[in-house]
Structure 1
Amino acid sequence: MTTAETRRTARAASAFPVPQTLRRLARLIAAGGLLLSSVACAAASATTAASLPPALQADRQVDAGDLRIGYAELGPADGEAIILLHGWPYDINSYAAVAPQLAARGYRVIVPHLRGYGSTRFLSAQTPRNGQPAALASDVVALMDALEIRRATLAGYDWGARSADIVAALWPERVKALVSVSGYLIGSQEANRKPLPPAAELQWWYQFYFATERGQAGYAQYTHDFARTIWQLASPQWKFDDASFERSAAALDNPDHVAIVIHNYRWRLGLADGEPKYAALEQRLAAAPLITVPTITIEGDANGAPHPRPEAYANKFTGKYQHRIFRGGIGHNPPQEAPAEFVQAVLDAIQL
């Protein structure tokens, strides 16, 4: 019996002059229906949580550059390395279904929390909480050095794709293959000075919000609410459940998270300075360097986040190259929305 039906039963019981015994029976039936409804909801919630792939545990840490990076590691220690990079506002559990599949094929899979996420921390309180792209990409190289990984396959989306692109462009000798969602995401402050058409600017509403003190305070106060909104806008056809969201949103409680995010978007608009030690790298990136390593780029057919057209960046990849469209309502987070297809893309990139 549905909740509406039980209410109608209860109303009917009070509308007609029936014996007291029948009135009590009607109340019991109504209460029983509500109880069963509650039990069913609880059971459905438990089933949803149980159907999630096991969470990735960032139970390892290593000092790398400015950071003590928290990361998950799966697979044999002597396996060929794959590094999976998450985006904003997500976390390593975007790869909860992907990483075990790659590890089962004999790869050493590393899934780090970016600076400002999860268990990753700055080694010094004096280090600027810098979110500029060259800093994030340098973290990947520092992680590889710390783990004594000479060469790895890199895969990522959103901020993770941008970092992977930069490493592949500036340190191609360190990258065996690349999988990049939304393709070529290397930019510069100079390129970002050019205004976009109004419809395109509208998609970047949060970038302009973060440019204000109100935006910084709002993101600090409503971090999880903000993240949920971005998930919904960026993947409008992805019906993620509360359990999936909450276990990733916990990574946003990192004490440096808000500062890193605000600096990242303000830096893009030229409203915040970067660190001098990254100036030479940013100068090279401003020239939009080519990516020569074997690459597969991916786009979801329902990506609601700002992203370039595939034909606009195809010529930036001069090595072996493929582009794939993930269909079926796939949005901005393909490794979590279409893990089997993402795993296949990584495996195929390695074989290009």
Structure 2
Amino acid sequence: MATLSRPAPLLYVRTPMLEVAYETHGPVEGEPVILLHGFPYDPRGYDEIAPVLAERGYRVFVPYLRGYGPTRFINAQVIRSGQQAALAKDLLDFMDALAIPQATLAGFDWGGRAACIVAALWPERVRGLMTGDGYNIQDIAKSLKPRAPETEHRLWYQYYFHTQRGVDGLTANRRDLCQLLWSLWSPSWVEGPSLYGKTAPSFDNPDFVAVVIHSYRHRFMYAPGDPALETIEQALALQPPISVPSISLCGADDGVGPAPEEDDDAEHFSGFYRRRILKGVGHNIPQEAPQATLDALLELLA
């Protein structure tokens, strides 16, 4: 598989909320594909996938999410929200700003959440969806319901972020903390430690801590959302189905949530849907399993 020797040149586009930094590959007239990273990752996760899609004639966009890398908020006073509706609205605004009427989306973690929401609420904008770990739309109303002890143990970082100590810890130790998460979430990924240094600078964004803290507090109802996004959050509370053609890739070794044998998410997909469990793969699906990710995308694009 082809690999980028260095990242593609950065481009910027202004949306109503952000100055979004993004990388692009492939011919301008190519069919659009948008690849979305999660926390704590960045576009480097798609370095083995984007150039291959470009060689096949697709126009590939890989943006930095809010709070990551060179992406910046336009308004200094606006809430640094990390809620799910904000991530989805950013994706929709990004497509509008670049005049992309429809795209195939791929994402995991935060990026997968944005992709799932746009696919559910604006299906006409999505040709196909590759989602890491299935249906990523949060059911916030059920967030305070206790879960199995082993699941609660894996979510320690989220509870840490609910405290001021967590805010201070992420501020002071963001690179070390995120490196720890990489190792815990992808325990069988041999190349992970050597690749972390290429991604870590993206966490130096001045809004990284605020966006991350808000994300993990809002999903547990410990922080209010952006009032401008309330309509979207109300729609998401209904757990809308995803009707676009979708493939879910799940890491069998995912340290956040190992894929269960029974697919609990299937009921949320009303169109073509396939689920694949990847042995020896953790949470960072595109970077740990680039060929499987590429195969899923090409299947959706066929």
Aligned to 1:323: 275
Structure 1: runs of 5+ lacking an equivalent:
1-50
C-alpha deviation, 1:207, in angstroms: 0.6
Distance 1:308 1:338 in 2: 15
Residue 79 (1) aligns with residue 50 (2)? no
Choose the corresponding residue for 1:230, options 166, 171, 181: 181
Aligned to 2:54: 103
C-alpha deviation, 1:242, in angstroms: 4.6
Residue 202 (1) aligns with residue 170 (2)? no
Q: Give the number of aligned pairs.
A: 300
Secondary structure of the corresponding residue to residue 216 of structure 1? helix
Distance 1:241 1:214 in 2: 28
RMSD: 1.5
Higher mean C-alpha displacement, 301-310 vs 204-213: 301-310
Choose the corresponding residue for 1:112, options 48, 57, 63: 63
Letter in 2 for 1:284: A
Distance 2:258 2:200 in 1: 23
Q: Deviations over 1:213-252 (max 9, x none)?
A: 0000001111010111111111100012554111101101
Aligned to 1:125: 76
Aligned to 1:217: 168
Choose the corresponding residue for 1:271, options 191, 204, 222: 222
Residue 245 (1) aligns with residue 185 (2)? no
Are the structure 2 counterparts of residues 278 and 333 from structure 1 closer, same or farther at C-alpha, using a change threshold of 3 Å?
A: same
Letter in 2 for 1:318: S
C-alpha deviation, 1:267, in angstroms: 0.5
Q: Are the aligned partners of 2:171 and 2:209 in contact in 1 as well (CA < 8 Å)?
A: yes
Distance 1:340 1:307 in 2: 20
Structure 2: runs of 5+ lacking an equivalent:
none
Q: For 1:52-71, list aligned pairs within 5 A.
A: 53-57=4-8, 59-71=10-22
Aligned to 1:349: 300
Q: Say which structure is richer in helix.
A: 1
C-alpha deviation, 1:197, in angstroms: 2.2
| Higher gyration radius (CA) | 1
Q: Are the aligned partners of 1:58 and 1:119 in contact in 2 as well (CA < 8 Å)?
A: no
Q: Deviations over 1:39-97 (max 9, x none)?
A: xxxxxxxxxxxx97424245100001200000000001111000000010010000011
Are the structure 2 counterparts of residues 159 and 262 from structure 1 closer, same or farther at C-alpha, using a change threshold of 3 Å?
A: same
Higher mean C-alpha displacement, 190-199 vs 335-344: 190-199
Letter in 1 for 2:273: Y
C-alpha deviation, 1:125, in angstroms: 0.5
Tell me the TM-score normalised to structure 2 length. Answer: 0.96
C-alpha deviation, 1:206, in angstroms: 0.5
Distance 1:122 1:316 in 2: 33
Residue 163 (1) aligns with residue 111 (2)? no
Are the structure 2 counterparts of residues 52 and 99 from structure 1 closer, same or farther at C-alpha, using a change threshold of 3 Å?
A: closer
Letter in 2 for 1:326: L
C-alpha deviation, 1:196, in angstroms: 1.2
Q: Are the aligned partners of 1:57 and 1:71 in contact in 2 as well (CA < 8 Å)?
A: no
Calculate percent identity across the aligned residue pairs. Answer: 46
Distance 1:55 1:324 in 2: 30
Letter in 2 for 1:260: V
Distance 1:332 1:197 in 2: 20
Q: Are the aligned partners of 1:74 and 1:109 in contact in 2 as well (CA < 8 Å)?
A: yes
Aligned to 1:11: none
Letter in 2 for 1:151: Q
Distance 1:275 1:248 in 2: 28
Distance 1:70 1:258 in 2: 18
Tell me the TM-score normalised to structure 1 length. Answer: 0.83
C-alpha deviation, 1:193, in angstroms: 2.1
